Amino acid sequence: MKRILYGLAGLFLSSSLLGQEKNFDYGSIHGNFQTNAQYYLRDTLIDPNGDAFPDERLLAAGFLNLIYTKGDFMAGIRYENYQNNLVGLPEGFQGQGIPYRFARYKIDGYDITVGNYYEQFGSGLVFRTYEERGLGLDNAMDGLRIIMNVAPGITAKALVGRQRIYFNTSDGIVRGGDLEFNFNEFKQTSGTRNLILGASLISRFQEAQDPIFNLPENVASGGIRANFISRDWNIFAEYAYKSQDPNSANRFIYKPGHAIYATASYTKGNLGLLMGYKYYDNFLFRSQRVANFTEALINYLPPLAELHTYALPALYSYNIQANGETGFQVEMSYKFDRGTRIGGKYGTLVNVNFSNSYALDKDFTYRLDFDSTQTISGTRGYQDWAGPGNIQYSQDFNVEVKSKINKDWKATFSYYNFIYNSSALLDGVIDEQITPDTKIKLVYVNAAVAELLWKIKPRHYLRTEAQFMHTEQDRGSWALLLLEYSIAPKWFVAVQDAYNYGHPDPDLQVHYPLVSFGFTRGATKLQVNYGRQQQGVFCVGGICRVVPASNGFSFLLTSNF
């Protein structure tokens, strides 16, 4: 590792000294930097037992990416530092090191990477590695990847390696490949219609030394996909299969997995339509059998649900249930022309979205364990191709209206109606644990948001958010008001207050004030926050983590160069 650091330091020096010669290209170095810190204050009102109050008051995390490029060659490293990581993020991120380093070269239709890399096959049902710092998720591969342009329109990928788990790698070896055929590129035409076909295969090898179960050491997953594109339509469908994969998430059952993900969108004139269907059955795939949360995920299951960005509706964001769920989504948008009764002077965009998710109707197979208790471990688990069950995970109906009122004012109005199964999505109660006597906690939510943007004068803007959420379950009803003043493109200051006025415990009917300040100069941004953060669920793409309540100062600095 020291050799890599010394080598890159040498590249910096040579670029600055030798780059003065006009007729020689020594390449270039670029990258980005980020540091995120928080100073925690004890707040007995929102955290009476101190569960989320760390022993160390100041926690920080940061990284530095350095990438060198010259022609078709690229190499880079990422230094990461967690001293110590912020509350709510995985505890495995501790200390410092260089967990990401790579070299990449393109030659004669080949794209070769050694070291770390991110990759995705299709929609990700079979394979997807990526980074999402807000979740503490980084499942980068460490090994070898080759991308081959076999012919115009035909691309093949092959890879092998181990996945990152914090500063180590997983126990399992991941290997596989993908083949994609693009009809228009193959025919070297640019017509209004196109067909893209693909097939993927991934396998994991992990030694098995379990004293109870005969665990398969090789587990494979394969998928096929098709994408038809025309002037008005875009239709995508993918099916994936996974062989028997007894693991800690599915309670060590011997059942293959199935996954279907399909979407169809139609756009013509002012009208847009989107329809989607999902079916995920025993399809959590990791590069080692025993892992937690976001560790060692090989694949990705699209949530097919609205990803809410406003603070109060986002408290009940959807969390994918990889062990078994099915559902659909329908969305319609229409732009009313200017000059019409609804369109007004500048036009109005209306978007309506509905989605739901249900558990599968599983007929569980039980066996008696050595201590005379019933368990599904060691059995097939349940039948293939189970239909929708009676357990509802979520239902989400929302309407959004965007309109420009005049040359200085823009407005967005939203309405939300949720059904949210907090037992499954928040508490982690799986369907096998649910009996006729189990009390499932469903949260029924009605919410509304009004956002106004006022252009006071050139480069000066005032943005206002008024949010209201009513529910008689969970923590009760909320209200939130935000005011943000910005001087584009450098400055902003914001003040908000979230008030949990409907909490069933009168002592917790409290305010969560937050003040934020930000400054941007070129490619560098600084943001400082002070105040309370309410407990909630933070989700990105259907993968979630719980954010504990906290109070204090936070600091974020990012820069690109």
At 249-273, the pLDDT tens digits run 899 999 999 999 999 999 999 999 9
Tell me, yes or no, whether 256 lies in a domain: yes
What pLDDT band is residue 300 in, cutting at 50, 70 and 90? very high
Same domain, 222 and 75: no
Tell me, yes or no, whether 344 lies in a domain: no
pLDDT at 148 over 70: yes
Tell me, yes or no, whether 234 lies in a domain: yes
pLDDT reported for residue 479: 97
pLDDT at 280 over 90: yes
pLDDT reported for residue 16: 45
Same domain, 141 and 222: yes
Q: Report the first-to-last Cα separation within the chain, whole angstroms.
A: 23
Phi, psi (rounded to 5 degrees) for 232: -110, -20
Same domain, 229 and 289: yes
Would you give the DSSP letter of residue 115?
E
Tell me, yes or no, whether 187 lies in a domain: yes
Looking at 263, 284, 300, the residue that finishes a domain is 300
What pLDDT band is residue 515 in, cutting at 50, 70 and 90? very high
Same domain, 135 and 284: yes
The model's pTM: 0.90
What pLDDT band is residue 499 in, cutting at 50, 70 and 90? very high
% of the chain exceeding 90 in pLDDT? 72
Looking at 300, 317, 344, the residue that finishes a domain is 300
Same domain, 278 and 130: yes
Same domain, 74 and 154: no
- Summarised one tens digit per residue, pLDDT across range 445-463 is 999 999 999 999 999 999 9
How much is the average pLDDT of 111-140?
95
Tell me, yes or no, whether 401 lies in a domain: no
Same domain, 142 and 76: no
Tallying the residues shown for the chain, one arrives at: 561
Same domain, 145 and 223: yes
pLDDT at 408 over 70: yes
What pLDDT band is residue 507 in, cutting at 50, 70 and 90? confident
User: Which of 55, 54, 78, 58 lies closest to 68, judged by CA?
Assistant: 78
How much is the average pLDDT of 234-257?
95
Same domain, 128 and 267: yes
- Dihedral angle sign, alpha carbons of residues 11, 14, 19, 24: negative
pLDDT at 5 over 70: no
What pLDDT band is residue 18 in, cutting at 50, 70 and 90? very low
Tell me, yes or no, whether 195 lies in a domain: yes
Tell me, yes or no, whether 236 lies in a domain: yes
Residue span of the structural domain in which 165 resides: 108-300
What pLDDT band is residue 9 in, cutting at 50, 70 and 90? very low
- Summarised one tens digit per residue, pLDDT across range 179-208 is 999 999 999 888 889 999 999 999 999 999
Tell me, yes or no, whether 319 lies in a domain: no
Same domain, 194 and 85: no
In single-letter form, the type of residue at position 444 comes to: Y
Q: Which residue has the higher pLDDT, 87 or 530?
A: 530
Same domain, 117 and 72: no
CA 299 to chain centroid: 12
Looking at 259, 281, 300, the residue that finishes a domain is 300
* Neighbour-count burial of 391, counting CB atoms closer than 10 A to its CB (0-12 exposed, 13-18 middle, 19+ buried): buried
Helix ranges (H only) for 299-389 are: none
pLDDT reported for residue 4: 46
Phi, psi (rounded to 5 degrees) for 2: -60, -35
